[in-house]
Structure 1
Amino acid sequence: MKDILDQVIYYLGALWRRRWLVFGTVWTVAAVGWAAVVSLPNQYESSARIYVDTATVLGPLLKGVAVESDLNRQVQVMRQTLLSRPNLDQLVRMTDLDVTAPGPAAYEALINRLEDRIDLTADKQNLFTISFTDKDPRLARDVVQALTTIFVENNLGENRSDIDNAQQFLRRQIAEYEKSLDAAESALAKFKQDNMEFLPGQSGLAEKLASAKGQKASLEAQLEDARKRVALLEDELAKTPRMLGDVAVAGGPPTNIEAQIVAIQAQLAELRARYTDEHPDVVVLKRRLENLLRQQEARISAATGGPNAGDTGGTVVNPVYSDLRIALVEEKGKVTTLEDQVRRAAQQVAQLERRIRLVPEVEAKMKKLTRDYEVIRQNYETLRSRLEAARISADRDEGGNRVNFRIIEAASLPALPSGPPRALFLIAVLFASLVAGGGVSWLLAVTQVTYGSVDHLKRDFPHKVIGVIGMVMDDKGRRRHRREIILLVAGSALGLLALFTLLFLESRYGLVSVRALGWGLCLIPLALGLG
């Protein structure tokens, strides 16, 4: 800490020893700097304020119907594209600044200057401020007016152009999907027509197969009954004699036929109690009973009324045998017919079973065709709905003004300069001059070392300090020292007075209007510095 304090004391001593050099440096730099500040031309700023209104009455009404984009993002894009190269080229043409740039290099420099001096700011409420500063107030106003026009027209045009491009793209896609949809519909309709019986929900193979199986079972049952009847008839035919011999005379003892009739009638009564008249056993017994009755009638007729009634014997054809043989032939014919019908029914069932095995494959292809059709149809409907939304958006933007640009404050011709901030520059020059004076003193203190204390001398040299000789001022020296102090204070006060006068003139009249007086005031610190 003591070393730091010694260093500070040393540099302050060096500064005081070179006070006149520091004094001259400070006021010379101040005079030159103030003269430069006085010479700065006035800068005029023109600005315009634009409000981008994104909240419209139609917004809530068309929510979910029209296309909704990120309006905040759109506003950010507006801000970034305003200073694009095409817009700057258009600005140069609109303000006739291109005539001031004779060559490509000058034109590029002009574009760069414009880009640097144009200021575009935006707050959170979508309020844009466009400002431009130039020494020519008319040029500042013209540039801001042109930028306002470019900002509004370009963004409105871009919005409409985007919607038009979207509609054209959607129409092309809809036309392509319409062709695909027609092709898918035709393929699906043809497939349904060719495979109608295989499709679910139709009276097709399943119903036909069930009906064919039922018909086959019924025919097989009928065939089984017919075969049973054939067996019964064959058995009965085997028991029945083909010829009848020694026919008994009338009034003789009872024959075997009458006993058979009684037995069959008893069996028939028993069967009718359990079955219907159409039962095969009932039918066979009824036929046997009828044959026996006819046979009995024939015997009685032969015994009582025939030409050989008085004879004691003879042979005749057994009518029961003939009837049984005829019935057997008929039943065998029915069996043959039923066997053919059962065979055809079995073939039909087998054919239907083979075809019904194709149903899963047909259904899978049907599902694929339906799925493809539904995908194309959904995409087609989606594109149509989006086209309608784009059309409504276009109508809204044209009639409902989705994004409104309201010029809150138009560009005007500035009457008073907005800069440069000469008062700030004047004060900054004063501080810079003080730094320059202190810097000169420090540089000399470093390059031209002097010793202001014994301790400093001991640090730099290893020799022993024998003694210190002090300086005693006489009256003449003290008077001269006082005069120096007075001159320093008076000179500094005079320089500060010149500064305050410049600040007053700047705030009251503007230094440009009293530039000659300002330069005259700058001569005061210059004289102090050079003196």
Structure 2
Amino acid sequence: MNSLYDEFRVALHSVWTRRWLVLAVAWGICILGWLAVASIPNRYDSRARLLVDVNQILPDEAQGGPLGGRRHLDEIRGTLTSARNLEKVAVTTGLLPAGASEREKAGAVAMLQKNIKVIPQQDNIFEITSSIAIGSLSDADNAKLASGVLDSLITVFRDDQLRGGRVNAREGLKFLDSQIADREKALREVEARRAAFEAQNIGLIPGGSGSPAQRVDAARAELGQIESQLVAAQAALAATNGQLASTPATINVPGMSATGAGVARQQLAGAQNELSAMRARGLTDAHPDIIAIKSQIASLKAQADREGSGGGGGNAQNPAYASLAAMRAERQATVSALSARKAQLTSDIAKITSQQIQNPGIAAEYDRINGEYTALKAQYDKLLGQREQVRLRGEVQTEANAIKVELLDPPSKPTSPAAPNRPLFLTLVLLAGIGGGVGAAFGLSQVRASYPTAARLERASGLPVIGSITEVVTPERQVERKKRLVWLASGGGALVGLYALLLIAEFVQRGMVA
């Protein structure tokens, strides 16, 4: 412990013996450091809070979905500090002189972009901070410019938003109109190409809308319905034929005059005419309708023969038979129509299938053209809907303010610099000067070989030291020492006084800004 104390005393003595070096180094470091601190311009910050509210006048579909409002706020956040707006701010606040070059404009815009921060606090509330530290301006001018930049930025932003809604709507309509014109042109080209393809392959492509595969599916679906309807109609016709066969065509009315004779012959003639008509339609003798009508003709011939022989009474036409005959004729027509439609559908399906088998490339190309047409038509209809939405949005923004900009907190007027902390820097420079002087003196003592104590000389030489002689100070020497000590104290006091004077000047300068 004693050796450590001795070492401390030795180090302190070595520094004290070089006290003038300590003072000189301290003065040099402090002067240079204080000049460097003085060259740093004071930075003044101004803050403001802005509310940007997007009016939800249109439904979500017209606003671009539920995220339309948030996306619009993100765009506002990006355009708030755009280069165009900042250039207007630089001109308004005087940062750019009249007739400035493009390089000067770019420099001013870059400086403002670096020193203006937009911090979102909520979805539609922004805190804007401007920091100004221009060395060529005084502190009062820097403080005034910090708040002036925010004032000008908010004013420019408001004006831009008032005009931007209508301009964006017009630009959006113009863009959509060009897109619609392009789609319409492409749609017409596809229509012309499809018409030319159909004309070129008129014998290979069946008529009708849709691709061959779609038409085959539609024909098969309709054929299934026709077949079920035909089965039901044939069953109804067979039932009617059975009832008609068991129903007499005439009934004998006693006491009726012979004027009723010849009815069976008339019905026979009608049945024969109907048989001729069926054969004219191509029905064969094996057809159920031909067989039924032949049976009816045979029955009518027997009745006609009996009418020719005369009788005790007259015959009259059976009303039930006439009703059944009319019903049978109607159901026969239904069966014939369904059979014809079935034959037509079967023929169409066979024809389309044969064409697809014989010409697979033509069918595939036709399907591709139809698919391209369908896709372009869907895009065209979608663009028309979007254009109507943009037009409605533009009308709403014309009638009402679509974007509301409200200043929650006006730009603050800074009264003290935000940076640098000059009193702290001045103090640190003073401490660094004193520490540097002490370090220089101690380092010099370590470089130069000296032995402040007998024990250190003994350790360095390895020889015993008999004794040491203390310094004898004469009265004249004592007076000289006191005089130098006064000079040393004056130099140290002057250094501290200069530090205090710089602190006072700093606070006085801040008060002038306020």
Q: How high is the TM-score relative to the length of structure 1? A: 0.53
1:380 positional shift: 2.8
SS at match of 2:60: coil
Q: In the TM superposition, what whole-angstrom CA distance separates every residue of 1:427-468 from its partner, at most 9, and x where no partner exists?
A: 233123224313432553454344456787688x6x523327
- Identify the residue that residue 356 of structure 1 maps to in structure 2: 349
- Identify the residue that residue 200 of structure 1 maps to in structure 2: 219
Decide whether aligned partners of structure 1 residues 277 and 412 sit closer, same or farther in structure 2, where only a CA change above 3 A counts: closer
Decide whether aligned partners of structure 1 residues 352 and 489 sit closer, same or farther in structure 2, where only a CA change above 3 A counts: closer
The one-letter code matched in structure 2 to 1:278 is: S
Conserved? CA contact 2:15–2:438, under 8 Å: yes
- Identify the residue that residue 219 of structure 1 maps to in structure 2: 284
The one-letter code matched in structure 1 to 2:50 is: Y
Distance 1:410 1:120 in 2: 16
Choose between structure 1 and 2 for higher RCO, CA contacts under 8 A separated by at least 6 residues: 1
Residue among 164, 167, 188 paired with 2:170: 164
- Identify the residue that residue 468 of structure 2 maps to in structure 1: 470
- Identify the residue that residue 18 of structure 2 maps to in structure 1: 18
- Identify the residue that residue 191 of structure 1 maps to in structure 2: 208
Distance 1:76 1:54 in 2: 12
- Identify the residue that residue 269 of structure 2 maps to in structure 1: none
1:119 aligns with 2:116: yes
1:74 aligns with 2:139: no
Conserved? CA contact 1:52–1:403, under 8 Å: no
1:70 positional shift: 1.7
Distance 2:299 2:208 in 1: 56
After superposition, where does 1:491-506 map in structure 2 within 5 Å? 492=492, 495-496=495-496, 499-500=499-500, 502-504=502-504, 506=506
SS at match of 2:406: strand
Conserved? CA contact 2:223–2:346, under 8 Å: no
The one-letter code matched in structure 2 to 1:391 is: R
SS at match of 1:70: helix
Q: In the TM superposition, what whole-angstrom CA distance separates every residue of 1:333-378 from its partner, at most 9, and x where no partner exists?
A: xxxxxxxxxxxxxxx9999755431345899889878765553443
1:54 aligns with 2:53: yes
Decide whether aligned partners of structure 1 residues 77 and 349 sit closer, same or farther in structure 2, where only a CA change above 3 A counts: closer
Distance 2:210 2:503 in 1: 100
Decide whether aligned partners of structure 1 residues 123 and 483 sit closer, same or farther in structure 2, where only a CA change above 3 A counts: farther
Conserved? CA contact 2:46–2:150, under 8 Å: yes
SS at match of 1:200: helix
Decide whether aligned partners of structure 1 residues 413 and 101 sit closer, same or farther in structure 2, where only a CA change above 3 A counts: farther
- Identify the residue that residue 382 of structure 2 maps to in structure 1: 382
SS at match of 1:66: coil
Decide whether aligned partners of structure 1 residues 153 and 276 sit closer, same or farther in structure 2, where only a CA change above 3 A counts: closer
1:4 positional shift: 10
After superposition, where does 1:397-408 map in structure 2 within 5 Å? 397-408=397-408
SS at match of 1:122: strand
1:278 aligns with 2:278: no
Distance 1:511 1:352 in 2: 100
1:22 positional shift: 0.3
In structure 2, stretches of 5+ residues that fail to align are 199-205, 235-277, 307-340, 357-362
Decide whether aligned partners of structure 1 residues 410 and 46 sit closer, same or farther in structure 2, where only a CA change above 3 A counts: farther
The one-letter code matched in structure 1 to 2:75 is: Q
After superposition, where does 1:18-167 map in structure 2 within 5 Å? 18-27=18-27, 29-30=29-30, 45=44, 47=46, 49-56=48-55, 58=56, 62-67=59-64, 68=68, 70-78=71-79, 81-82=81-82, 84=83, 89-99=87-97, 107=104, 111=108, 114-115=111-112, 118-124=115-121, 125-134=125-134, 135-136=137-138, 137=140, 140=145, 143-154=149-160, 161-167=167-173
1:5 positional shift: 9.8
Distance 1:179 1:123 in 2: 46
SS at match of 2:286: helix
Distance 1:356 1:109 in 2: 74
The one-letter code matched in structure 1 to 2:48 is: R
SS at match of 1:436: helix
* Higher Cα radius of gyration: 1
- Identify the residue that residue 180 of structure 2 maps to in structure 1: 174
Distance 1:280 1:148 in 2: 105
Distance 1:449 1:128 in 2: 63
Distance 1:70 1:3 in 2: 75
1:51 positional shift: 0.6
Distance 1:361 1:156 in 2: 67
SS at match of 2:424: helix
Distance 1:219 1:209 in 2: 23
Distance 1:121 1:194 in 2: 58
Conserved? CA contact 1:53–1:403, under 8 Å: yes
Decide whether aligned partners of structure 1 residues 361 and 405 sit closer, same or farther in structure 2, where only a CA change above 3 A counts: farther
Conserved? CA contact 1:50–1:407, under 8 Å: yes
Conserved? CA contact 1:42–1:417, under 8 Å: no
SS at match of 1:357: helix
The one-letter code matched in structure 2 to 1:120 is: K
Q: In the TM superposition, what whole-angstrom CA distance separates every residue of 1:373-407 from its partner, at most 9, and x where no partner exists?
A: 55344323322222233233334444443433334
- Identify the residue that residue 437 of structure 2 maps to in structure 1: 437
In structure 1, stretches of 5+ residues that fail to align are 227-274, 291-347, 514-531
Aligned positions, number: 399
Decide whether aligned partners of structure 1 residues 422 and 436 sit closer, same or farther in structure 2, where only a CA change above 3 A counts: same
Greater shift in the superposed pair: 114-123 or 357-366: 357-366
Distance 1:155 1:429 in 2: 50
Distance 1:218 1:95 in 2: 103
1:190 positional shift: 6.7
The one-letter code matched in structure 2 to 1:53 is: V
Greater shift in the superposed pair: 495-504 or 190-199: 190-199
Greater shift in the superposed pair: 356-365 or 430-439: 356-365
Q: How high is the TM-score relative to the length of structure 2? A: 0.54
The one-letter code matched in structure 2 to 1:78 is: T
Distance 2:77 2:354 in 1: 58
Conserved? CA contact 1:22–1:441, under 8 Å: yes
Conserved? CA contact 1:145–1:411, under 8 Å: yes
What percent of counterpart residues are identical?
19
- Identify the residue that residue 510 of structure 1 maps to in structure 2: 509
The one-letter code matched in structure 2 to 1:175 is: A
Distance 1:52 1:421 in 2: 32
